[in-house]
Structure 1
Amino acid sequence: MKLQLRVTLAIFAAVAFAFIVRYLFAIDSLSALYSVMTVTFLLCLPFGVGYLTVYICKDETVEYSAAAFFVPFIPIFIFFFATLLIKVEGMACWIMIMPIFLILAGLGGITARYIKFKKRDKNKTFVYIVLLLPFFLSPIEKMIGAIPGTYKAYTEIDIRASKEQIWKNVTRVRAIDKQQDSAAFTRFFGFPRPIKAELDKEAVGGRRKAIFDKGLVFDEEVTAYQPLKSMTFTIHANPYDIPSTTMDKHIVVGGEFFDVLNGTYQLERLDAINCRLHLFSTFKLNTTFNFYAGIWASWIMKDIQQNILKVIKERSESEARIVVHT
């Protein structure tokens, strides 16, 4: 019974620590010193949760390294569900950072176990250092600042249709049914699904509007155009026009941390009956952990683009079959 009580106390204390750090790092008036979109928050919070959990647990509970590594998962998952429940964080953000949180919490637990058994005389000193570390490191990181990075997401698809049939489905995308939406990855994240794209004229200066569900709209302008060959367009989303329920504020398009700059379609003929359609986009990240955020952003952009390409392929090939049969 005492062991269970001690474990419960350890989990409660660890979750409380996580909420305190999350709350303080999100206060607008302290934004010059703290932010949840920092390496400090990403690494120190879960490490501290893991360390504090094992520090409070009785020795016999974390006698083995495996226990010290996995027991901290409990407060992390509780923190995860609690922040979702009270809508402090969104599912998309959590899925992205969960692998790092679990690994760092486990490492924090392993470190606490080592100190607990090997450096008992320094046990209290180390726990204070670990718990206060994010509050000292974050201001330093904020002074250094984020380094904006620009990235490209490349996708392509082979289509058995003529250039004319493909191109008319590129310039204007008719309404997409849910059954045609194959972007399982981004749907799982809760990202809006594409509905349609409209273009007022096929020339430089043409205005294109890409409409997604949940109120997400991209205003685009054609900056380069070659009929049946290529089309480049800028992409603009006003984050203030996007409903707060549409995307997590930390990954909203056009926001402080993530923005899509432009997109390009390129069409090439492979042989007498096959063409290859390329779609690539340029996006910008503005965090101190672009090395990690860039991986997820690239996956998301590629999934969105590949979904559009599949729709274009299906429609173009369907129209090509109708022409052949008639």
Structure 2
Amino acid sequence: MESTISSVIEINAQPETIWDNITNVKIEQFSDPVIFRLLDIPKPLKAEMLSEGQGGRRIAYFDSGKKFVQEILVWRPLIEYSFTFNPEKEFRVCYFFELSEGVFQVPAGAYYLITKEQTTTLKLTTTYSIDRRLHFLFNIPARLILKSFQRYLLTSIKQNSE
């Protein structure tokens, strides 16, 4: 069963600065939430754009040594950037959930920028799926963890942008 969650943050920066910080992410300097370490959720370090535009690619690196090789689905500079995650084989979270295949997967995400004067609202959406047989058991914990992950990313992007 597939679901989508979203989080938003207000950033006092030019959209060009924010765009650069969502397409070429550098967040290794920020401390990850303790809950991530307790649940064995790899800390994101950085993401590098390989090729821009729809069909382009970006690689996201994590402290576990694993990567997401993301394909760009929508590329509307300063407005929308969406992508698939495509985690490497054996990319695990919470000790035993294999993200590249298995009962819990995260197929896609997107950033949306809405600029009004000096402030930009940055929205992050994440699409996830849980095997129908386990949905009732894992949906609420998955939503809470993903929401926490989104807040961590958005706060890091805000700090880098302002």
TM-score by length of 2: 0.92
Report what 1:307 is aligned to: 152
Partners of 1:248 and 1:153 in 2: CA distance = 23
Tell me if 1:217 matches 2:50: no
* Structure 1 unmatched runs, 5+: 1-148, 318-326
1:248 aligns with 2:98: no
The structure with higher relative contact order (CA 8 Å, sep 6+) is 2
**Residue matched to 1:290:** 135
Amino acid at match of 1:289: L
Q: Given that residues 238 and 254 in structure 1 are in contact (C-alpha distance below 8 angstroms), is that contact kept between their aligned partners in structure 2?
A: yes
Residue 57 of structure 2: which of 207, 211, 216 is its match? 207
Shift of 1:257: 0.7
* Alpha-carbon distance between aligned partners in 1 of 2:114 and 2:7, rounded to the nearest angstrom: 14
How do 1:1-326 and structure 2 match up within 5 A?
149-177=1-29, 180-240=30-90, 242=91, 247-249=94-96, 251-269=97-115, 271-317=116-162
SS at match of 1:288: helix
- Structure 2 runs not aligned, ≥5 long: none
Letter aligned with residue 5 of structure 2: A
| Whole-angstrom distance in 1 between the partners of 2:95 and 2:27 | 25
What amino acid is aligned across from residue 205 of structure 1 in structure 2?
G
Amino acid at match of 1:154: S
SS in structure 1 of the partner of residue 85 of structure 2? strand
Determine the C-alpha separation between the residues in 2 that align with 1:158 and 1:296: 26
Is the 1:181–1:307 contact (alpha carbons within 8 Å) kept by the matching residues of 2?
no
Counterpart secondary structure, 1:289 = helix
Deviation at 1:254, TM superposition (A): 1.9
What is the CA–CA distance in structure 2 between the aligned matches of 1:211 and 1:276, rounded to whole Å?
Answer: 26
Q: CA deviation at 1:182?
A: 4.1
Number of matched residues?
162
User: Residue by residue, what CA displacement relative to the aligned partner does 1:251-299 show, whole Å, maximum 9, x if unpaired?
Assistant: 2212321111100000001x32111000011111115231230111111
User: What RMSD, in angstroms, separates the aligned Cα atoms of the two structures?
Assistant: 1.7
Instruction: Provide the TM-score with structure 1 as the length reference.
Output: 0.47
**d(CA) in 1 for partners of 2:157, 2:41:** 20
Identical-residue share of aligned pairs (%):
30
Q: Are residues 248 and 188 of structure 1, via their aligned partners in 2, closer, same or farther at CA, if it must alter by over 3 Å?
A: closer
- 3-state SS of paired residue (2:51): coil
**Mean Cα deviation higher: 192-201 or 282-291:** 282-291
1:17-47 C-alpha deviation (Å, 9 max, x unpaired): xxxxxxxxxxxxxxxxxxxxxxxxxxxxxxx
CA distance in 2, matches of 1:188, 1:304: 14
Residues 203-250 of structure 1, C-alpha deviations (whole Å, 9 max, x = no match): 11111111111122111000111010001101111334x4x7x7522x
Larger radius of gyration between Structure 1 and Structure 2: 1
CA contact (8 A) 2:39 2:94 kept: no
Q: What per-residue deviation string (whole Å, max 9, x for no partner) do you get for residues 171-216 of structure 1? A: 1012522xx1343332321211111001123211111111111122
Following superposition, the deviation at residue 304 of structure 1 comes to 1.4
For residue 47 of structure 2, what is the amino acid of its counterpart?
A
Residue type matched to 2:95 in 1?
Answer: D
